[in-house]
Structure 1
Amino acid sequence: MSRKLNKAVSDYMRLLRKHYSSKILTAVLFGSVARGKFNKESDADILIIVSDSDKKMKDEISMSAYEIMLKNDVVLSPVVMDKNTFDWYRRNKDPFYKNVRKDGIEIWTKTQKSSLKSA
């Protein structure tokens, strides 16, 4: 991951911890950056698993990436999903879940038991 993209991801996680730490269970970097197959145009795909399905909060978490993107001139692509939805993807062996489980790098977890490894 480029230094600039790494800084942006770190800044984003810091912002989320400050404002949403009680709601976020896990954050996982996935996609080309996690696989190590990125280029200067790559975005950072970040799955953020939250404790509840409050749409307003999920939208706020997604939108807060824009401030970081503008400041760092990079693209962050957050996917905010509540735990029940993520568990459904896991139970049904959804391709999205398989991709995240295979290539994902946990960059923040609130619980001792990882949401990714519980399948």
Structure 2
Amino acid sequence: MIKYQCIKNKYRIHNIIYQFSQQLKDIMESKLTKVIVYGSYARGDYNSSSDVDVMILVKMSDNEIKKIENQVYDLAFDIEMDTGVDISPIIKNEEQYEYWLDTLPFYKNIHEERVIVNG
């Protein structure tokens, strides 16, 4: 029964993250390039109190990102209120992410653990 619960929860989380990524498309339109899950959910070692770490890569300047980031945080908050799933989004310019990938350990970890949801 426990194994079934874990599988059921995994599909539930997957569906919630997929819906989140679809709603991101509405906010960012063609400027959204990738939605990546990393951290405990990507590694498979999550527990009931784990958040879902999400890297959102975009073709936007830092100023453009600042204009839409509250919408993204509000969306993540609304999903948490509706589902109980805590999504922790980070929005980055894709070119900057690629540029710093080999230098910054945080980006390296994301790249190694990543599960691409969209993109």
Task: Summarize deviations over 1:48-85 as a string: whole Å, max 9, x none.
Answer: 00101211123322332111111111100011111233
In structure 1, what is the Cα distance between the partners aligned to 2:90 and 2:74?
Answer: 11
The structure number with the bigger radius of gyration is 2
Identical-residue share of aligned pairs (%): 25
Structure 2 unaligned blocks of 5 or more: 1-5
Q: 1:34 aligns with which of 16, 19, 42?
A: 42
Select the residue among 36, 57, 62 that pairs with 2:68: 57
Q: Cα offset for 1:19?
A: 2.9
Q: Which residue of 1 aligns with 2:98?
A: 87
**3-state SS of 1:45 partner:** strand
Letter in 2 for 1:105: V
1:117 corresponds in structure 2 to: none
Scaled by the length of structure 1, the TM-score of the pair is 0.80
Query: Which one of 80, 83, 86 corresponds to residue 69 of structure 1?
Result: 80
- The residue aligned with 1:112 is none
Structure 1 outlier segments of 4+, above 4 Å:
none
Give 3-state SS (helix, strand or coil) of 2:76's partner: helix
TM-score between the two structures when normalised by the length of structure 2: 0.80
CA RMSD for the aligned pairs? 1.7
Q: Give the Cα–Cα distance (whole angstroms) in 2 for the partners of residues 21 and 41 of structure 1.
A: 32
Match of 1:114 in 2: none
Higher mean C-alpha deviation, range 65-74 or range 17-26 = 17-26
SS in 1 for 2:37: strand
